[in-house]
Amino acid sequence: MAAFLEHVFTFYFTDRNPMKFQHCFNLVGVEHDIGLGHAFPYQYRQTAAYFSFEPQTGKTAWIILKANTAIRDRILELVESQSRKTLTPKSSFSAAMSAHLAIFEWSIQNFTTHFNTLETQISETAKVIHHTPVSAITDSSNLEQTLERKMTARKSWGRREKHSGLRQRINQAFMTLVSLKRSDNAGQWNTTNQNPSRPKRLELPEIAEIFKFEKLQDLYLMATRINDGSLVLAQNKVVLHDLIERFEHFKELESFSRNVDIDPEEFDIFFDTAKRCVRELDNQEARLNTLQARLERQISLFNGILQYNNMRFGELYAELTQLSTEKMEQFTIKARRETVSIHVITILTLFFLPATFVATFLGSNIITFKGEEASGRIGDWIIDWSGLALFGVITGPLSGLVFSIWATISWYSRWQQKQVADLILK
């Protein structure tokens, strides 16, 4: 809110006309502007006016620096009504006091409905904050369903992306952990409840769906409006107090009372109405303070719910991590046992492999012995060189093909492990 004439500005007497009273003031009111397309139907409007009065002649002058049409018409109506009558200092000043009261009452008339709207919005938000079953929503089973839905959504989205197979494996691994935890809980449940007609669990919405960041922004926007309202009320109270003191000074001034014969009752009506406006501003200010304290509690509870939800997710992730560690430990023990068995089989296979190869090679009739005519010395055999050549032609390419396939599989396995590691780091 622009700080425009936050106090009544008094013009001092001049030598040309020592009996001319003048001041300038600014009051802020609330108007209902639903037709202007604003999200909030109430907007602040200012009325800034200059007033001068000559007690000797009864001439008054108004300069409306800023005001709405209703205030302009009201002041114009009062001025014209005096122009049609006999112009006297008394009637002129009475009309001036009525114009001041019209501005005073305009400045307080819509604050009640304005703050009622704010209170309604705060109450609607409070219903969500205070009555949402946070404990049920943040229950482990419901959080697991939330994680499973997210993993399923990522799984379907990951198929459209590059390396979707890797993402799918990671998602499947995480969903497996959730399923394992559910199976453990389900086993415990089945031991206590064997009723097959048990109703299905009601799927509750997620915390993120209820407590969105936009709602937190709305709460802070309400806090801003309350703060603006407090500033406006404080400014109006200062201006009204200054104007009351100003008119009390008129009443007590001897030169004024000598030229303007105003009944004390008119002054009393003016002061009572002005003080009633001040009391109304005090009441609205106290109401705003209550709303502000209430809103601060709601914002604190809103943030607390989000923190509690994050804590529950952290606990669930810790449980899943612990479960994953236990399963990995079981897999490691099982793999270690299988590795020992494989090592024994490999050692025995390697031990008999040379003998098996020699027996197979000798059984191919590439090398033949002379039978009874053999002398038993090394080299006393007959080699079929054409068969040996055929053996080499077939065995060499096949061995190269086997080594190539093994090298390709080994490279692909290392590349896949690197991609998984990069994906986890991301």
pLDDT digits (tens, 9 = 90+) for 265-294: 989 999 999 999 999 999 999 999 999 999
> In 161-212, which residue ranges form alpha helices assigned H by DSSP?
164-190, 207-210
Residue with tokens 């979707």: 164
- What is the percent of the chain with per-residue pLDDT over 90, rounded to a whole number? 23
pLDDT tens for each residue of 203-213:
445 555 666 77
Neighbours of 243 (CB within 10 A): 21
Distance CA 128, CA 324 (A): 36
Neighbours of 103 (CB within 10 A): 23
User: Please, what is the average pLDDT of the chain?
Assistant: 77
Mean pLDDT confidence for 168-184 = 52
Q: How far apart are the first and last CA of the chain?
A: 47
* DSSP secondary structure, 116-143, as one string: HHHHHHHHHHHHHHHHS-HHHHTSHHHH
Residue 140 and residue 316 in contact, taking contact as beta carbons nearer than 8 Å: yes
Inform me whether the pLDDT recorded for 195 exceeds 50. no
* pTM as predicted: 0.60
| pLDDT of 422 | 81
Q: Which of 115-124, 228-237, 308-317, 334-343 has the highest mean pLDDT?
A: 228-237
Task: Average the pLDDT over each of 156-160, 295-299, 355-359 and give the range with the smallest value.
Answer: 156-160
List phi, psi (to 5°) of 65: -75, -35
| pLDDT of 356 | 84
Distance CA 413, CA 421 (A): 12
pLDDT band at 103 (very low <50, low <70, confident <90, very high): very high
Residue 71 and residue 54 in contact, taking contact as beta carbons nearer than 8 Å: no
| pLDDT of 268 | 92
pLDDT band at 262 (very low <50, low <70, confident <90, very high): confident
